[in-house]
Amino acid sequence: MRPSPLDPWLAARLGLAEPSPKTLAAWQLDELRRTLAWARTASGFHAGRLAGLDLERLREPADLALLPRMTSVDLAAPGLLTVSQDEVARVVTLATSGSSGPPKRLLFSEADLARTLDFFRVGMGTLAGPGDAVLVLLPGRRDQGVADLLSRALPGLGARAVLPPEGWTPALLPGLLEAEAVTCLIAAPAQLLALLAHAGASAACRRFLRALLASGEPLPPDLRAEVESAWSCEVFDHWGMTETGYGGGVECSAHSGYHLREADLLVEVADFRTGAPLPAGVQGEILVTTLGERALPLVRYRTGDAARLLPGPCPCGSGLRRLGPVPGRLAADGAIIQPQKGHGQT
């Protein structure tokens, strides 16, 4: 069993010989205080929300409850952007899930996207390595989009990206897999369903693929089992969202939760109603705080997704935190809305 490649990456980023849950938590709280002090000067939005807060009171994970939570509505608030429009390298507009509110408009600087590129380079080492040809079906071919960043990250592992023609259909893929000697696949669950439904594409996937990464939507357990059975390949899952700069966490070969992007994101699971942080093993709402200077800094951003932090070390040997499966989104009353059987949730 291969250990998660994120642990040595985190050790290098944090300047620690071997991060433990305790040393990682202390580093993140130090970085959080520094980030919040910067955000109060760089963002009028955060200056107002964090006014009067003594940052030195943030000494334990439970103290995060002192910070206000953000929602998708806040993404459109005046004064949130910390850089000039000329410094914005990527703009993404998304429909607001589960509401009739205005679309979410997310802005990223070159530095924000460089962090994601670094995470992709390391995280993809979970399933790909030297000599691999990775078929990338995810959208975002424009400069700094998801597919573009993955294509730029893979050569750092000695692998290469393969992009299908624009407007591809499953019928086009068997020839592409053979011609490019594809060994790995990155696709959204909805795309996996389409490939399974096409006999030729499904047969080609079984013949050529040894591993795949599901991303972009939650991967339902029944779909995962169907893919593993039909294609006889190892399936890895990724958790993330556009708000985090795409990447968030990725499974290791133990397939026991998502190893998190802890150097860039402070991920919590909190009580849906009160916002109080919950201990490992207890299900609540995922909250995300971006660490470091960001074009659009997030502080305890409410993702609307349900999950729990997994207790104990990972079977791969990592003692760091892992996020458990995301069973669905949270309704207004806190109930979980599960994805339809066999379909990912957008």
- Model pLDDT for residues 274-283, shown as the tens digit of each residue: 999 999 999 9
Tokens 């708000």, located at residue: 243
**Cα four-point dihedral sign 312, 316, 318, 322:** negative
Residue 29 CA to residue 93 CA, distance in Å, equals 31
Residue 7 CA to residue 339 CA, distance in Å, equals 31
Residue 269 CA to residue 285 CA, distance in Å, equals 5
Q: What is the dihedral of CA 82, 87, 89, 95, to 10 degrees?
A: 40
Q: Express each pLDDT in 22-72 by its tens digit.
A: 999 999 999 999 999 999 999 999 999 999 999 999 999 999 999 999 999
β-sheet with 249-251: strand ranges across? 160-162, 133-136, 184-187, 211-214, 234-239, 249-251, 258-260, 322-323
Residue 201 CA to residue 180 CA, distance in Å, equals 15
β-sheet with 336-337: strand ranges across? 265-270, 284-290, 301-307, 328-330, 336-337
Strands 88-94 and 104-109, by their bridges, are antiparallel
Which whole number is the average pLDDT over 109-116? 96
Domains of the chain (ranges, CATH numbers) = 1-80+306-329 (no CATH), 115-239 (3.40.50.980)
Contact 286, 305 (CB under 8 A): yes
Number of H helices, E strands in the chain: 9, 15
Phi/psi region, residue 48 (left: phi>0; alpha: psi -120 to 50; beta: rest), is: alpha
Is residue 345 pLDDT above 80, yes or no?
Answer: no
Angle of the 6-14 helix axis to the 110-123 helix axis, nearest 10: 140
Q: Express each pLDDT in 261-316 by its tens digit.
A: 999 999 999 999 999 999 999 999 999 999 999 999 999 999 999 999 999 999 99
- pLDDT > 70 fraction of the chain, expressed in percent and rounded: 95
Residue 160: band (very low, low, confident or very high) from pLDDT cuts 50, 70, 90: very high
